[in-house]
Structure 1
Amino acid sequence: MHSSPYKGLLYFWGLLFISSCNPGPDAEDVKYLQGYWEIHKVAFSDGTEKTYAANTTIEFFDWNGRSGYRKKVQPTLDGKYLTSDDALPMEILWRDDRLFLGFTGSDTEWEEEVLELDSLNLTTLHSNGLLYTYNRYEPFSLKTDHD
């Protein structure tokens, strides 16, 4: 069964409509970006989605003022995180009352528009058309009061 060539176009226009109707985060909401986020779902421009039931890595956002970084970390069962020194530089940008995160990789630059940001949810639209949905990460620990 073939999908319609218009499905991707309809998906794009739908995202554009939703993002234009949703006022998005304001300057007060940026405080919620700080911390650990777990990817929940990725929506592709053709309308398909990939849902993540469990993740071995999570995203850590750290910023101060207009700049910071994002890095992948691995939570451990004792409530700690395994990490490397690799951090992706990040810049917080405001254009037309819309929040963007600008990233600089080793050989590329891109932006993600923040469509939703509150204490529990983060949704970004990558400049390549991918829609990322994150949930605030809740650490799991096997530690007990007797440890």
Structure 2
Amino acid sequence: MRSSPFRPVLSLIGLLFILSCNSGPAPEDLNYLQGYWEIRKVAFEDGAEKAYAVNTTIEYFQWDGKTGYRKKVQPTLEGRYLTSDDALPMEVNWREESLFLEFSGGDSRWEEEVLLLDTLNLTTRHSNGIIYSYTRHEPFSLKETNVE
């Protein structure tokens, strides 16, 4: 029985696909989570997307290695943040080599899988399938701007 002439090509394509797949964040990438993140895009399961050019609120993540919280803050023109005492408790867990942020608020619990985490980008997939893409927020201050 003859082997298909496409078999080596298909094997090579399969190998390249496996090597190019991003396995998600590594444990050391968790150092990047803490701080201020600005939502840039939301991708829905049906393929629709919503882009955010300007945001009035920023997500702030605080954690101590296992538990922490997430809260919404509002940046001011002076480079500070307005906040409240409301914070969403968060647990950081690894399962099957994937990173999950588990939240509890009121009577509900949900999780978000971290798909990408580096110094400038955070992408999560909510348990309902919606994908959230963030960029690291850089504070803006009018006090630092010289207008002549």
TM over 0.5: yes
Report how far residue 107 of structure 1 moved: 1.3
Which residue in the other structure is 1:90 paired with?
90
Counterparts of 2:139 and 2:81, CA distance in 1: 10
Aligned partner letter, 1:107 = D
**What 5-or-longer segments of structure 1 have no aligned partner?**
1-20
Report how far residue 79 of structure 1 moved: 0.7
Aligned to 1:22, the other structure's residue is in SS state coil
Aligned to 1:72, the other structure's residue is in SS state strand
Task: Give the TM-score normalised by the residue count of structure 2.
Answer: 0.83
1:9-36 deviation per Cα after TM superposition (whole angstroms, max 9, x unaligned): xxxxxxxxxxxx3210010000000000
Task: Give the TM-score normalised by the residue count of structure 1.
Answer: 0.84
| Residue 124 (structure 1) aligned with residue 124 (structure 2) | yes
Counterparts of 1:50 and 1:26, CA distance in 2: 28
| Residue 64 (structure 1) aligned with residue 75 (structure 2) | no
Which residue in the other structure is 2:109 paired with?
109
Higher Rg: 2
Query: What does 1:125-140 align with in structure 2 at a 5 Å threshold?
Result: 125-140=125-140
Q: Number of aligned residue pairs: give it.
A: 128
**What 5-or-longer segments of structure 2 have no aligned partner?**
1-20
Aligned to 1:143, the other structure's residue is in SS state helix
Aligned to 2:144, the other structure's residue is in SS state coil
Which residue in the other structure is 1:28 paired with?
28
Counterparts of 2:52 and 2:115, CA distance in 1: 20
Counterparts of 2:99 and 2:145, CA distance in 1: 42
Aligned to 1:31, the other structure's residue is in SS state helix
Counterparts of 2:144 and 2:90, CA distance in 1: 37
Counterparts of 1:40 and 1:70, CA distance in 2: 17
